[in-house]
């Protein structure tokens, strides 16, 4: 009608840029805002729109001040654990495949689908209970939880961060320290039972206490018979520190024999074929230990025996520490020169000779 007054109708006001937005999903309001250029979607867990608006304003202010306490995004535990796998590959860690296997076999099925910012201590406790029910040791569970702990550390370092805080991830008490030692008589008995492919490796492991992985990767250019030394490269050592091992006792005889049978193999401890190092599975080891009356003996157990032999022979801690480069065996160590290593080798050789002579005399008296 002409001249009629048009009533004013309420119009929808568009939200000002930078103030975030709200939408309803189910019974609760969800917030959307930006943090370091990344859109964040967060469930306010509120059914009242006014209360959700207040929370949104707080989140926007916190984001602007860099002090936000809410979740950053919707990354899952699986996605942040993938950061660990990528980091391990980037750093070329030797145990990268083992870490990935642990994650795929246990963590991923149990926790992988949970959003990282929603993982709670209750989830962790339930995971520990389930793994213990599956007969996993606390040491094994700790290795698995360490992957999760590392995942949150890397996730918080991302730019923008995937999460801003990590749940409490406990470290369980471990009581799996092995206590056995390999006495000289047991050493000689096992040496007789081992297959030819493992004898030289065993002798060097027993005398030096070097790790299986370090010895397997030794090449002939690292063996210095003139100086009676084995030079372990930085890339071969677990601690990423180059070190020198002495050649003493039965070692030179067995290393010389190994060299004669190498057939051009670059590896000191070769497998079949000789172009490859001896298998990490040490085929025949378990059976030989059974026959020698030493069931369950691990190659790693030789480290403990080597350290005790050095201590018994009177080798100074700093010299033994240069061989082992680990604080778990000695509290402290200092850098020593090759002359000190030579003295250590002579002392342990004299100790072995004395033990052998005592044993021979004892057997003679028995007969």
Integer Cα distance of 281 and 197 in angstroms = 12
Measured on CA atoms in the order 227, 205, 252, 320, is the torsion positive or negative? Answer: positive
330 and 316 Cβ atoms separated by less than 8 Å: no
For residue 352, the Cα-to-chain-centroid distance in whole angstroms is 35
From residue 67, how far is each of 16, 52, 63, 162 by CA, in Å?
22, 19, 6, 15
Integer Cα distance of 303 and 283 in angstroms = 20
Per-residue model confidence as pLDDT tens for the chain (367 residues): 444 444 444 444 556 666 789 998 888 898 888 866 667 777 788 899 999 999 888 888 877 776 555 445 678 999 999 999 999 999 888 788 999 999 999 999 999 999 998 899 999 999 999 999 999 989 899 999 999 999 999 998 887 778 877 889 999 987 655 556 788 899 999 999 999 999 999 999 999 988 898 999 999 999 999 999 999 888 877 767 788 888 988 999 999 999 999 999 999 999 988 999 999 999 999 999 999 999 988 898 888 888 878 777 777 666 666 655 554 444 433 334 455 566 678 888 888 888 888 888 888 887 6
| Nearest CA among 55, 66, 47 for reference residue 21 | 55
- Tokens read off for 13: 């006001």
Please return the burial class of 52, using the count of CB atoms within 10 Å of its CB with bins 0-12, 13-18 and 19+: buried
CATH topology of domain 184-366: hpI Integrase; Chain A (1.10.443)
pLDDT for res 288: 95
pTM listed for this prediction: 0.55
311 and 350 Cβ atoms separated by less than 8 Å: no
Put residue 52 in one of left, alpha, beta given phi > 0 → left and psi -120 to 50 → alpha.
alpha
Integer Cα distance of 324 and 364 in angstroms = 37
Integer Cα distance of 29 and 53 in angstroms = 9
- Tokens read off for 18: 């930078």
Helix (H/G/I), strand (E/B), else coil: 122: helix
Please report, for the chain, the start and end positions of each structural domain, with discontinuous segments joined by +. 21-65, 77-157, 184-366
pLDDT for res 32: 85
The number of residues in the chain equals 367
* DSSP, residue by residue, 173-209: -----------HHHHHHHHHHS-HHHHHHHHHHHHH-
Look-up of token digits 């003295």:
343
325 and 318 Cβ atoms separated by less than 8 Å: no
With DSSP H G I counted as helix, E B as strand and the rest as coil, what are the percentages for the chain, rounded to 5? 50, 10, 40
Beta-strand pair 21-25/28-35: antiparallel
- Tokens read off for 237: 């050592």
pLDDT for res 355: 87
Please return the burial class of 202, using the count of CB atoms within 10 Å of its CB with bins 0-12, 13-18 and 19+: buried
């Amino acid at each position: 009608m002409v001249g009629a007054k048009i009533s004013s109708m309420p119009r929808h006001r568009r939200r000002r840029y930078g103030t975030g937005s709200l939408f309803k999903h189910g019974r609760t309001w969800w917030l959307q805002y930006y943090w370091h250029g990344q859109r964040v979607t967060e469930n306010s867990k509120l059914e009242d729109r006014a209360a959700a608006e207040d929370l949104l304003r707080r989140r926007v202010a916190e984001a602007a001040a860099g002090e936000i306490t809410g979740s950053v995004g919707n990354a899952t535990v699986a996605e942040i654990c993938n950061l660990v796998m990528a980091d391990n590959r980037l750093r070329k860690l030797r145990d990268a495949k083992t870490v990935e296997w642990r994650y795929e076999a246990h963590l991923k099925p149990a926790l992988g689908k949970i959003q990282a910012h929603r993982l709670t201590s209750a989830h962790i406790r339930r995971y520990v209970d389930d793994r213990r029910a599956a007969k996993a040791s606390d040491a094994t569970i700790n290795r698995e939880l360490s992957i999760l702990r590392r995942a949150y550390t890397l996730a918080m370092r991302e730019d923008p961060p995937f999460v801003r805080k990590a749940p409490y991830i406990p470290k369980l008490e471990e009581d799996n320290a092995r206590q056995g030692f390999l006495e000289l008589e047991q050493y000689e008995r096992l040496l007789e039972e081992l297959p030819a492919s493992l004898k030289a490796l065993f002798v060097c492991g027993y005398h030096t206490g070097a790790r299986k992985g370090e010895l397997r990767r030794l090449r002939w250019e690292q063996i210095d018979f003139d100086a009676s030394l084995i030079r372990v490269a930085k890339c071969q050592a677990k601690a990423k520190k180059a070190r020198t091992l002495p050649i003493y006792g039965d070692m030179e005889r067995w290393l010389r024999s190994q060299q004669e049978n190498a057939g051009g193999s670059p590896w000191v401890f070769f497998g079949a074929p000789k172009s490859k190092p001896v298998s990490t599975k040490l085929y025949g080891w378990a059976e030989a230990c059974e026959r020698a009356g030493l069931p369950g003996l691990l190659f790693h157990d030789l480290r403990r025996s080597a350290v005790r032999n050095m201590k018994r022979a009177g080798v100074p801690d700093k010299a033994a520490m240069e061989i082992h480069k680990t604080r778990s065996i000695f509290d402290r160590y200092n850098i020593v020169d090759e002359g000190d290593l030579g003295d250590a080798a002579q002392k342990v050789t004299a100790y072995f000779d004395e033990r052998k002579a005592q044993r021979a005399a004892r057997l003679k008296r028995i007969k």
